[in-house]
């Protein structure tokens, strides 16, 4: 294990709530893209990252449904400093290579070549609000880019159901590198229907942005902290050995013995996760989780997580209610059982076991440390969460963008939507 698991505490990004002066509409917000140095793990030197407002992930922007918000996305990234990511194409592993010699399982470069075009990149950015119903001109089209010193105006009506969206860089041809450098953040829409449910809120509602990363090494093999985007000639997609949650590798979160709402986003470029919750004995306690929402907002009813785990492809979101009450004083591990590239295959080993053959050398995502103290938590999850009046015709008119109905039935993700096609563009 190159870094101690669960050593650092999970960070939660600060929240920005746009307000308007003197009741003028729309509310405005200025968000600066700036270079920053962040420790991804306390055992690492600081890492050069690009951020929104100096936070990794960027600040969470929280709005009301229908609240008209204008954002000035200001590119204040440095022109004269090196690009914060080293892009590297490793030689394919030999046919008889041991699983632990698969290049993407290993930190550092190994044999291969640096992508000099990426090393020479200048900060060129555009912001896309993923999942947002946005007028075309403000949708963050990939060629609508801003150089350092320039500003892009975003105009967001937020006229859609309460949901977890995310904003991220979208620049033509280099989205994967810019997002990898740190340019991603969450965007939460609230509405009355959601609030009427009385779901766990405040410090009991935790966003979890999951991203895999790789890091460069010194000639001695020590981790430098520098972001390394290492692919293999034949794989091409990026799969990294380290899992970051909210910008920290393998964090832990102290929780009370009560119910929590977890807003999960897979913000990885290509890795799919199949999330399983394990107790201290390595037994799956995934049954303690109910899924209450997906990309488009709340489900009609809560659903159970499939016994094999919750599958989340890149850019997908899951709104989860987790009941920690049965686990007073215990430590629970959230682990990934999906191999990469993911083809839907079931895992043929116990959850939480490394699977380097399938580019899963470290299955851990994070740890929950449940307090031993008894808490009076009287919240009862309603069996009816949301209504979908008009959703079907709306979805048809808009080309099935949100695909509520199939998700509501199965709790599984839906393939082949326009959104999924967009996601493939992240790579």
Give contact residues for Cu ion (rule: CB under 5 A).
130, 315
CB 406 within 8 A of CB 293: no
Nearer to Cu ion (CB atom), residue 314 or residue 361: 314
Q: What is the dihedral of CA 370, 62, 295, 123, to 10 degrees?
A: -100
CB 270 within 8 A of CB 239: yes
Count of C-beta atoms within a 10 Å radius of residue 388: 17
| Minimum CB distance to Cu ion, residue 317 (Å) | 11
Residues 16 and 1: their CA atoms lie apart, in Å, by 37
Q: Length of the chain in residues, anyone?
A: 427
Of 203, 169, 165, nearest to 186 (Cα)? 165
| Minimum CB distance to Cu ion, residue 130 (Å) | 3
| Minimum CB distance to Cu ion, residue 314 (Å) | 8
Nearer to Cu ion (CB atom), residue 103 or residue 131: 131
- Number of helices (H), then strands (E), belonging to the chain: the values are 6, 27
Structure tokens at 361: 């050398």
Q: Which residue is nearest to Cu ion (CB)?
A: 130
Burial category of 199 from C-beta neighbours within 10 Å (exposed 0-12, middle 13-18, buried 19 and up): buried
Nearer to Cu ion (CB atom), residue 130 or residue 258: 130
| Minimum CB distance to Cu ion, residue 213 (Å) | 18
Q: How large is the C-alpha radius of gyration of the chain?
A: 21
| Minimum CB distance to Cu ion, residue 315 (Å) | 5
Residues 248 and 211: their CA atoms lie apart, in Å, by 10
| Termini Cα distance of the chain | 27
| Minimum CB distance to Cu ion, residue 204 (Å) | 28
Nearer to Cu ion (CB atom), residue 208 or residue 315: 315
| Minimum CB distance to Cu ion, residue 143 (Å) | 16
| Minimum CB distance to Cu ion, residue 221 (Å) | 35
Nearer to Cu ion (CB atom), residue 202 or residue 416: 416
Residues 252 and 193: their CA atoms lie apart, in Å, by 32
Residue for token pair 């979208």: 170
Nearer to Cu ion (CB atom), residue 164 or residue 315: 315
Helix, coil or strand: residue 418: helix
CB 70 within 8 A of CB 25: no
Residues 422 and 368: their CA atoms lie apart, in Å, by 33
Nearer to Cu ion (CB atom), residue 181 or residue 347: 181
Nearer to Cu ion (CB atom), residue 283 or residue 427: 427
């Amino acid at each position: 294990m190159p870094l101690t698991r669960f050593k650092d505490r999970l960070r939660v990004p600060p929240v920005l709530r746009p307000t308007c002066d003197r009741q003028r509409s729309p509310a405005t917000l200025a968000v600066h893209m700036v270079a920053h140095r962040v420790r991804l793990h306390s055992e690492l030197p600081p890492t050069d990252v690009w951020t929104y407002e100096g936070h990794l992930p960027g600040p969470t922007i929280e709005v009301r449904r229908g609240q008209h918000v204008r954002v000035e996305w200001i590119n204040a990234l440095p022109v004269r400093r090196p690009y914060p990511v080293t892009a590297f194409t490793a030689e394919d592993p030999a046919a008889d290579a041991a699983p632990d010699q698969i290049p993407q399982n290993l930190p550092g470069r190994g044999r291969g070549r640096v992508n000099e075009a990426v090393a020479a990149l200048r900060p060129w950015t555009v912001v896309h609000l993923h999942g947002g119903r946005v007028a075309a001109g403000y949708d963050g089209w990939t060629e609508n880019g801003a150089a350092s010193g320039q500003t892009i105006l975003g105009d967001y009506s937020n006229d859609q159901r309460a949901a977890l969206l995310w904003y991220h860089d979208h620049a033509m041809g280099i989205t994967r590198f810019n997002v990898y450098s740190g340019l991603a953040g969450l965007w939460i829409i609230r509405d009355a229907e959601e609030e009427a449910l009385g779901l766990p809120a405040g410090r009991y509602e935790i966003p979890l942005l999951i991203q895999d990363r790789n890091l460069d090494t010194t000639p001695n093999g020590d981790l430098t902290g520098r972001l390394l985007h290492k692919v293999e000639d034949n794989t091409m997609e990026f799969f990294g050995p380290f899992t970051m949650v909210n910008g920290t590798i393998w964090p832990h979160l102290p929780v009370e013995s009560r119910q929590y709402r977890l807003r999960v986003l897979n913000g990885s470029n290509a890795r799919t996760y199949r999330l399983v919750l394990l107790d201290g004995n390595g037994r799956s306690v995934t049954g303690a989780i109910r899924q209450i929402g997906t990309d488009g907002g709340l489900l009609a009813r809560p659903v159970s997580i499939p016994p094999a785990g919750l599958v989340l492809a890149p850019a997908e979101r899951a709104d989860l209610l987790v009941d920690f009450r049965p686990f007073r004083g215990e430590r629970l591990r959230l682990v990934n059982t999906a191999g990469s590239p993911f083809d839907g295959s079931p895992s043929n080993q116990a959850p939480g076991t490394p699977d380097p053959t399938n580019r899963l050398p470290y299955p851990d995502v994070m740890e929950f440390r449940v307090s031993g103290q008894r808490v009076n938590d009287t919240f009862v999850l309603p069996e009816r969460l949301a209504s979908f009046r008009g959703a079907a015709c709306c979805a048809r008119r808009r080309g099935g963008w949100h695909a509520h109905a199939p998700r509501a039935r199965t709790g599984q993700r839906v393939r082949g939507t326009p959104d999924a096609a967009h996601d493939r563009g992240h790579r």
